[in-house]
Structure 1
Amino acid sequence: MHAIRFETFGDPSVLKLTEVPAPTVDAATALVRVVAASINPSDVKNVAGAMSQTTLPRIPGRDYAGIVEAGPAEWRGAAVWGTGGDSGFTRDGTHAELLAVPVTSLRRKPDNLSFEQAASVGVNYVAAWCGIEAAGLKAGETIVLIGAGGGVGGAAAQIARRIGARVIGVDRHAPHADAPVHAIAEHLIIGAKDVPAEIRAVTRGNGADVVFDLVGGVVFRSAVNSLALRGRLVEISATGQREVHFDLADFYHNESRLLGVDTLKRDLAASADVLDALTPGFIAGDYRAAPIADTCGLADAAHGYRKVAAGTAGRIVIKPQQ
């Protein structure tokens, strides 16, 4: 089969189109023909050497949608989708014609999603779901999304709306025109110098029940200072700085909670359970996949990686048969 693979870490130029043996399968493993597989920023970071767990040589890629070619009889020919924190890191990933996955990770693709759309859901929605689940967000509560214009921010806004929470978006720059947060957020705070003050101004001085910080690091102090009494702060990133400082007395007097979420700790099977939880929202039309900015074949995958590295709005999707 054909795949893109890297044998050393570096920029996207280290990705090479190569022919490798098709994966072997057993009773616990299914073989999926990949129809579509998106490129995530974490895939770019992986190739660059930012993920310490990655072993080489490696086929990258986390998200996919495809057709089961070999496996249990009830799954053969089924259209499936998936993602995983092990895929592309400690096991060969989705940027290939064929993919071996645990049978326990197989999930049927919602019929109202195309293969390209289904392949664009995984990382963003799994991160959003896990963060909101960790915070225990409830109907009627207020959630602040810092970095609301990004892929995870858009997914989190849609999940929070389905729960019945009030959404406030925060970002340094105005999100692109079709970002979900525009239609969902009651307030959208752009480029504020004092984010906690702005949050309290629109929450009658209370602050947020949940702050989902999608940036981390450089905005951590603003995030923790935006919490209401017994508020929960969820961190999934450490942009700009790994070590942060805050007033510990203020933190415990406010009875604040600090929660970390790492989707890389959820392998293909664990991520499949999250897709189960997300599926009703996609079937109902409450969630939508991010827009597809471009598609490419395996031969042009390195170019697709460069687009993602440059911050292209929308999803770049590899179609191995293209």
Structure 2
Amino acid sequence: MKALRFAQFGQPDVLFVDEVPAPSAGADTAIVQVRAASINPSDVKNVGGRMSQTTLPRTPGRDYSGIVIDGPQEWLGVEVWGSGDAGFTYDGTHAEQIAVPVASLCRKPGNLSHEQAAAIGVNFVTAWCAIVEAAQVTNADTVAIIGLGGVGGAAAQIARRIGATVIGVTRGARMNPYVDAAVDSLGDTVAQLRAASDGGASVVFDTVGGSMFETAVKMLALRGRLIEISATDRRQVSFDLADFYHNESRLMGVDSLKRDLTAAARILEDLRAGFEEGSYQAPAIARTYALDDAVAAYRAVDAGTSGRIVLSL
């Protein structure tokens, strides 16, 4: 079978398509024929050597959608989707076939194409971990989301479905169909946020990190929860510790790579109903590429795109 491989770290040019042995099903594993697989920024970082756990040579890729072709009889021919920690210490989804634990098999939403389903994984799993698992958002919460890109946009949809009030924090205060209000990240952000939220947000989800951290801390209402998932432009931050504890604020980190394929499948199963009933919308796909054009696809993600990049197999 064909698989995307890299045997050294570097720019996307180190990637190459190779013929490798097809995986075999075992007592606890199934084989999925991959029909589509998205490329995440973490995949580009992985190829670039920025993920310390990665072993070489390796097939990258965390998200997929496809059809079970070998494994338990009840799963044969079933359309499934998946996400998780593939592509770092074991081969990932940017290949024609992938071996996955039977326990990780999860039916994809029937109303989505394979390309749409493959574009959901990491963004929505990360957002779910932040909004549902870490912050435990309820309909009584006001949730401020800094950055409404892939993960932030997914978080807005999840929080909105729960019934929370959602405020987007973006450059120019751009509105989004899933937010109730928007504030400008380049203006007096804290004052705008406090005015829009009647004194502060009970939850702040910071998808940017680094430069926005101190602002995010100041956005919190009494006993507010701050969720961090990134350190985009700097790893070291500072804040007023006295103000932090007087406000009884809470700070939590979320890393979707701590969820393997099986753990991520449980989240995808919880998400599936929202997509099938239409309260969640799949991310826009900027472009699809053939596996043979994967280097160009990785370059597109590395350069930054509006919308998802998907490999169609």
Give the TM-score, by structure 1 length. Answer: 0.95
Equivalent in the alignment of 2:206: 213
Q: 5+ residue gaps in structure 1?
A: 176-180
Aligned pairs (5 A) from 1:166-185: 166-172=165-171, 182-185=176-179
Alpha-carbon displacement from aligned partner over 1:41-77 (angstroms, at most 9, x marks no partner): 1111111111111110000000000010100000011
1:277 and 1:184 map into 2 onto residues whose CA distance is: 19
Give me the whole-angstrom Cα distance separating, in 1, the residues matched to 2:293 and 2:172: 31
Which residue in the other structure is 2:115 paired with?
116
Contact 2:69 2:77 in 1 (8 A): yes
Task: Identify which of 188, 195, 203 aligns with 2:189.
Answer: 195
Partner Cα distance (1:243, 1:194) in 2: 23
2:55: which partner in 1?
Answer: 55
Q: What residue in structure 2 maps to residue 140 of structure 1? A: 140
2:298 equivalent to 1:305: yes
SS at structure 2 position matched to 1:183: coil
From 218, 227, 236, give the equivalent of 2:220. 227
Task: Give SS of 2:176's match.
Answer: helix
1:1-54 per-residue CA deviation (whole Å, 9 max, x = no partner) reads: 001100001110000011111112211000000000011111111111111111
Contact 1:142–1:209 (CA under 8 A) maintained in structure 2: yes
* Secondary structure at the counterpart of residue 239 of structure 1: coil
Q: What is the distance in 2 between the residues matched to 1:259 and 1:293? A: 32
Report the CA distance between 1:173 and its aligned residue.
Answer: 5.4
Answer whether contact 2:172 2:183 (CA < 8 A) is retained: no
Q: 2:5 matched to which residue of 1? A: 5
1:178 is aligned to none
Residue 276 of structure 2 corresponds to 283
How far apart in 2 are the matches of 1:240 and 1:41? 15
Aligned residues: percent identity?
62
**Cα displacement (A) at 1:310:** 1.1
AA matched with 1:5: R
Number of residue pairs aligned between Structure 1 and Structure 2: 312
**CA–CA separation in structure 2 for the residues paired with 1:198 and 1:140:** 20
Return the alpha-carbon distance in structure 2 between the equivalents of residues 198 and 239 of structure 1.
Answer: 24
The separation in 1 between residues aligned to 2:181 and 2:173, in whole angstroms, is: 12
Q: CA deviation at 1:90?
A: 1.1
* Number of the residue aligned with 2:95: 96
Alpha-carbon separation, structure 2, partners of 1:316 and 1:202: 34
1: distance between equivalents of 2:72 and 2:25? 11
Alignment match, 2:153: 154
Q: What's the secondary structure of 1:80's corresponding residue?
A: strand
2: distance between equivalents of 1:91 and 1:220?
A: 34
Amino acid at match of 1:256: S
Map Cα deviations across residues 119-139 of structure 1 (whole Å, 9 max, x no partner): 001000000000002101110
For 2:229 and 2:217, how far apart are their aligned partners in 1? 14
The unaligned stretches of length 5 or more in structure 2 are: none
Q: What is the distance in 1 between the residues matched to 2:72 and 2:93?
A: 20
Match of 1:256 in 2: 249
Matches within 5 A, 1:229-248: 229-248=222-241
- Report if the CA contact (8 A) 2:172-2:186 is conserved: no
SS at match of 1:259: strand
- Cα RMSD of the aligned pairs, angstroms, is 1.1
The structure 1 segments of at least 4 consecutive aligned residues displaced by more than 2 Å after TM superposition are: 172-175, 190-194
In structure 1, distance between residues paired with 2:6 and 2:188: 43
Shift of 1:237: 0.4
Q: Supply the distance in 2 between the matched residues of 1:251 and 1:174 (Cα, whole angstroms).
A: 26
Structure 2 contact 31–69 (Cα < 8 Å) conserved? yes
After TM superposition, give the deviation of residue 174 of structure 1 in Å: 6.3
Shift of 1:276: 1.3
SS at match of 1:286: coil
* Alpha-carbon separation, structure 2, partners of 1:292 and 1:185: 21
